[in-house]
Amino acid sequence: MDFAFDETTMDYHARLSDFLDTHVHPAEAAYDAHPAGDWSPPPILAELQAEARARGLWNLFLPGEHGAGLTNLQYAPLAELTGRSPALAPAALNCAAPDTGNMELLAEFGTPAQRKEWLEPLLDGRIRSAFAMTEPDVASSDATNITTSIVRDGDEYVINGRKWFITGAMNPACAILIVMGKTDPSAERHRQQSQILVPRDTPGVRIVRGMRTFGYDDGTHGGHAEIIFDGVRVPAENLIGAEGDGFAISQARLGPGRIHHCMRLIGMAERAVELMCRRVLSREAFGRPLADQGVVQDWIAESRVRIEQLRLLVFKTAWLMDTVGNRGAHTEIQAIKIAAPSTVEWILDKAVQAHGAGGVSQDTPLAQLWVAARTLRLADGPDEVHRRGLARRELARWTA
């Protein structure tokens, strides 16, 4: 057992820190001034992307030939760093959800033609993408509940259904949607689903509105769209894998997606602790700095204690994914999915409180970061579903 980073990690970490300090953090103010209802990223993003590429900080998330070739364990502390500026840094590095998951999916399951048409421009940052799974009318945390239909009709598939919270879909650069639906409702429960590529400009794809998270529309991400698929037709070769592979593909996609979220959440927590400390050192009440208040010290200590524990579990999970695979790391992936959002939400709440009225406002990133953490207690399945799954595996150890 050894808790030191390897050299590759330390090298990337130093270079990424420098890029964040010199380019990303200074650009945050411009980002924050983004007008409501504008779904395209601010122009500065393109500049940041160019700089990141020039510095060799591009597609770090992707193992193997298509990406930077880092292991999950090597990528973890880098993803954490990007979480310090989550509206900007991941996109600047072409490491933003949902594109990351979509690129992984295409790299693993796409045909050469699919990879050429969609993976290449995604890797190149020329287009963006969305992943259309969640539906308003069913508990989508269980993918078997999906009701959108994908029906073969000659050389085409016809898609009908309603999706919501489709992140990034309103970004003008979003060219492609990966849609999850059912090709065979009569098949075995985990073989009913398929995934299919739908160019966003296909007739019948109708974007209804942007869903908000608390008061935010997340316009710089391309928002969270509600979309109606009304008789949408795409060529049969747009199917990813075979009919019935949809559930298995989505399971493969989830592991890395979840750990990336957790890594970034830790960066968000570190940002919160930094802002909280700076605030309480500089703000006075009742004649002395807030930092002298025992209650505030409790928040800071407890934040540090929780972050240190959480980060190690995320690292261990990454190490397991590298050594025994996503399936072997299932328990740990579920554990961090449970632990990270609520832990980081707690820390952000304290940082907000330490800032007083300013903490809930647009003058710090804290309120919006809090919403991101809070929303992750629901995204990819609510905490309650994951706790149930984890408990069942624990109980199974004692039943044999």
Which CB atom, from 101 or from 210, has the smaller least distance to its own copies? Answer: 210
Task: Identify the residue among 46, 54, 242, 312 touching its own copies (CB under 8 A).
Answer: 312
Closest among 236, 246, 112 to 180, alpha carbons compared: 246
* Interacting span for its own copies (CB under 8 A) from 38-46, 88-96, 138-146, 246-254: 138-146
Give me 360's structure tokens: 């809930």
Which CB atom, from 115 or from 304, has the smaller least distance to its own copies? Answer: 304
* Interacting span for its own copies (CB under 8 A) from 3-11, 106-114, 200-208, 252-260: 3-11
CB 259 within 8 A of CB 73: no
Which CB atom, from 46 or from 295, has the smaller least distance to its own copies? Answer: 295
Other CB atoms closer than 10 Å to residue 359's CB: what's the count? 21
399 lies in the binding site for its own copies (CB under 8 A): yes
300 lies in the binding site for its own copies (CB under 8 A): yes
CB 180 within 8 A of CB 144: no
Nearest-angstrom CA–CA distance, 173 and 84: 24
394 lies in the binding site for its own copies (CB under 8 A): yes
- Shortest Å distance, C-beta 67 to its own copies: 20
Other CB atoms closer than 10 Å to residue 7's CB: what's the count? 8
Which CB atom, from 54 or from 312, has the smaller least distance to its own copies? Answer: 312
- Shortest Å distance, C-beta 47 to its own copies: 27
Residues 4-63 within binding reach of its own copies (CB under 8 A)? 4-6, 9, 36-37
Q: Residue 112 burial by CB count (10 A; 0-12/13-18/19+): exposed, middle or buried?
A: exposed
2 lies in the binding site for its own copies (CB under 8 A): yes
Which residues lie below 8 Å from residue 50, measured CB to CB, with a gap of 6+?
A: none
Find the Cα–Cα–Cα–Cα dihedral 181, 372, 200, 32, rounded to 10°.
180
Other CB atoms closer than 10 Å to residue 46's CB: what's the count? 12
DSSP for residue 227: E
User: H or E stretch including 68?
Assistant: none
Task: Identify the residue among 49, 114, 134, 171 touching its own copies (CB under 8 A).
Answer: 134
Residues 173-212 within binding reach of its own copies (CB under 8 A)? 211-212
Which CB atom, from 62 or from 280, has the smaller least distance to its own copies? Answer: 280
Nearest-angstrom CA–CA distance, 155 and 144: 26
Which CB atom, from 110 or from 381, has the smaller least distance to its own copies? Answer: 381
- Shortest Å distance, C-beta 172 to its own copies: 20
84 lies in the binding site for its own copies (CB under 8 A): no
Kindly write out the interface string for residues 358-387 of this chain, putting x where it contacts its own copies by CB under 8 A and - elsewhere: xxxxxx---xx-xx--xx-xxx--xxxxxx
CB 156 within 8 A of CB 25: no
Distance between first and last Cα of the chain: 30
Task: Identify the residue among 79, 320, 321, 351 touching its own copies (CB under 8 A).
Answer: 320
Which CB atom, from 203 or from 397, has the smaller least distance to its own copies? Answer: 397
CA distances, 117 to each of 28, 114, 124 (Å): 33, 5, 12
259 lies in the binding site for its own copies (CB under 8 A): no
79 lies in the binding site for its own copies (CB under 8 A): no
* Interacting span for its own copies (CB under 8 A) from 182-190, 194-202, 261-269, 273-281: 273-281
# residues contacting its own copies (CB under 8 A): 96
Nearest-angstrom CA–CA distance, 156 and 147: 19
- Shortest Å distance, C-beta 40 to its own copies: 17
Task: Identify the residue among 86, 126, 165, 201 touching its own copies (CB under 8 A).
Answer: 165
CB 203 within 8 A of CB 232: yes
